[in-house]
Structure 1
């Protein structure tokens, strides 16, 4: 009897210890907030959902997505993450540039010619350097790289096949100086505007057109307010997931490791998703009323590179950093 009682007490102790441990883990679990400018089905959504899936499989933490700029504009969410009042955000990289100018190298017009180049640069040494720079300059850490494809030009007025066709149109661009100056180099004065206001502005004819990835145009149903697509390749839309550095440093070593691992997997998944979805998005837009035109980009490239690149060498940490990127892609350096 005494032996059985001792065994029973030992069993109770073990069960109690397990329950106490479980309660302790649950008490320390965190629900992270992740802000997105995009909606369901977008490249941002694909990156974020994969990240959450991987993180929740590795930790006791959870994460909740806030779509369609519910937590503010993308630039506002960068600022909120910087000061530690927001955990994560997925943003177009041009919205990080005001806080960490060196990442602007990825928005120089025609700096990236293919999606494979975008992946190679962001997932290599240059990407690692830009991650460190954003921590230093902006107080946020890039934990995953998202890819949405080239920003294709759309408008509601007419087909655009040449620079001459572009003249006179009112084009929205993000609030990014490099992108604004690119359109100025093409001979027009664009209208800077936040993403959350864009659809309404197109619908009300405040602006005639804009540029965005085909995937995002499909998920946002831009075919309802735009007629013409022009296949330009001046800007590859990279949309990293950022995390507040102060929130990251507050995590345990195990959670930090899980965040890094989840980000790497989400990066690979994002690129795969973009590759799979881009062509079908184009077909869907055409099927649903949009016209698609090829563009001879020779004059576009010449004007953009001659007028924009030199102006921003200093802000992207120097011409040598631009040449470093070009060398890594096997392309000629600038003189």
Structure 2
């Protein structure tokens, strides 16, 4: 197909990619590196995500003696999570801090982290992500034009809704629950008895306000930062999904960097991840108190039936995908995660 026959959006992408390459080449020639780091979280500087990316910026700029400049684009300024990942693939964005929800569409093995109740607690999650299994998934990203640098935390996810507290699976029946654009998450919420509605995060508040959906599921810091307590009465501590984010970079751009700059960025990403994790652990305790003070009714959840449904109805459907076509390998991978300390 010739460029003349392409749509305007395709032409725009091609033109922007060519411009990015030219600018990157020119910058490299002068020894300067400019990084656009995008995420679709909020702009609150106290939010752990922003604490992390700000620490990354400070470390990179200081350690490079100013030869690397990091410009942070929060709050979806460069698009939602999927758009950011696509921009990184195309080389239009150098780096992103992106939640795992859309990642399975790029690296199927990343769906492993989306499985419900795959992690017992936060320490279990960190040990797996930072260990051999986590590294094996990271390596898959280079095949799709992405350099995976580090995992950071989004925390565990909880149900909220405006109808009733969720104590058991029966309480989810008949509720329309917004989920991220993740096949695993859609399948899981449906298996739990609700009707899953995949939707962009930016559309969610209005959808809750207008009753398009009855509820949603997110970590506490996002429930607070997005003011969902204004349109949701109940917060149920299900902890059904763990919510990793990741620092990722455009692989083609990465290969234009010299080894010293690569080392600075890699190390800063790991350290920023650690800073972000510690910040989130403290922040979540504070957020529970804040949400209660804003009128949300918070309850514990009876998890046994949820966990049983996950094992029986969700995991087997993903054995083959996670095993790259080998269902036995996929099942073994899940068992290895669950058996990890």
Which TM-score band applies after superposition, normalised by the shorter structure? 0.7 to 0.9
Q: Distance in 1 between matches of 2:166 and 2:28?
A: 58
Contact 1:43 1:146 in 2 (8 A): no
CA RMSD across the alignment: 1.9
The question of 1:46 aligning with 2:60 is answered no
Which secondary structure state, in structure 2, belongs to the residue aligned with residue 38 of structure 1?
Answer: coil
Query: Quick check: 1:105–1:322 contact (8 Å CA) kept in 2?
Result: no
1:294 aligns with 2:300: yes
Q: Distance in 2 between matches of 1:159 and 1:328?
A: 31
For each residue in 1:250-306, what CA deviation from the matched residue of structure 2 results, as whole angstroms up to 9, or x when unmatched?
A: 111110010111011012112111111111111111111101011101111111221
Map 1:319-330 → 2, pairs under 5 A: 319-324=328-333, 326-327=335-336, 330=339
Structure 1 contact 119–271 (Cα < 8 Å) conserved: no
CA distance in 2, matches of 1:232, 1:113: 12
The answer to which structure has the higher strand fraction is 2
- Is 1:201 the counterpart of 2:207? The answer is yes
1:134 equivalent in alignment to 2:137: no
Deviates more, 1:170-179 or 1:26-35: 26-35
How far residue 42 of structure 1 moved from its aligned partner, in angstroms, is 3.3
1:307: how far off? Answer: 0.8
Question: Residue 108 of structure 2: which of 98, 101, 122 is its match?
Answer: 101
The SS at the match of 2:149 is: strand
3-state SS of paired residue (1:190): strand
For the pair shown, which has the larger CA radius of gyration, 1 or 2? 1
Alignment of 1:166-185 (within 5 A): 166-185=172-191
The one of 163, 171, 181 aligned to 1:165: 171
Equivalent pair of 1:152/1:229 in contact (CA under 8 Å)? yes
Question: Structure 1 residues 25 and 66 mapped into 2: Cα distance closer, same or farther (>3 Å)?
Answer: closer
- Tell me, in whole angstroms, the C-alpha distance in 2 between the residues paired with 1:245 and 1:297: 41
Using the TM superposition, give the Cα deviation of residue 321 of structure 1 relative to its aligned residue in structure 2, in angstroms.
4.8
Summarize the Cα distance change of 1:329–1:311 in structure 2 as closer, same or farther, 3 Å threshold.
closer
Deviation, 1:215, is 1.3
Summarize the alignment of residues 31-70 of structure 1 with structure 2, pairs less than 5 Å apart.
31-39=34-42, 40=44, 41-59=46-64, 60-70=67-77
Distance 1:157 1:324 in 2: 38
Of residues 139-148 and 79-88 in structure 1, the stretch that sits farther from structure 2 once superposed is 139-148
How far the C-alpha of 1:320 sits from its partner, in A, is 3.0
1:29 aligns with 2:32: yes
CA-CA distance at 1:197 after TM superposition: 1.0
CA displacement, residues 148-198 of structure 1 (integer Å, 9 cap, x when unaligned):
211011111111111111111111011111000001111222111011111
Q: How many aligned residue pairs are there?
A: 308
Instruction: Call closer, same or farther: CA 1:271–1:80 in 2, change over 3 Å.
Output: same
**Alpha carbons of structure 1 residues 316 and 43: separation in structure 2 relative to 1, 3 Å:** farther
Asked if residue 307 in structure 1 is aligned to residue 313 in structure 2, the reply is: yes
Does the 8 A contact of 1:48 with 1:241 survive in 2? Answer: no
Give unpaired runs (5+ residues) of structure 1.
1-23
User: Partners in 2 of 1:144 and 1:65 — Cα distance?
Assistant: 17
Using the alignment, how far apart are the partners of 1:311 and 1:26 within structure 2? 50
1:74 and 2:81 correspond = yes
User: CA separation in 1, counterparts of 2:81 and 2:340?
Assistant: 33
Looking at structure 2, the residues matched to 310 and 43 of structure 1 have their Cα atoms a distance apart, in angstroms, of 34
Q: Which runs of 5+ in 2 are unaligned?
A: 1-26
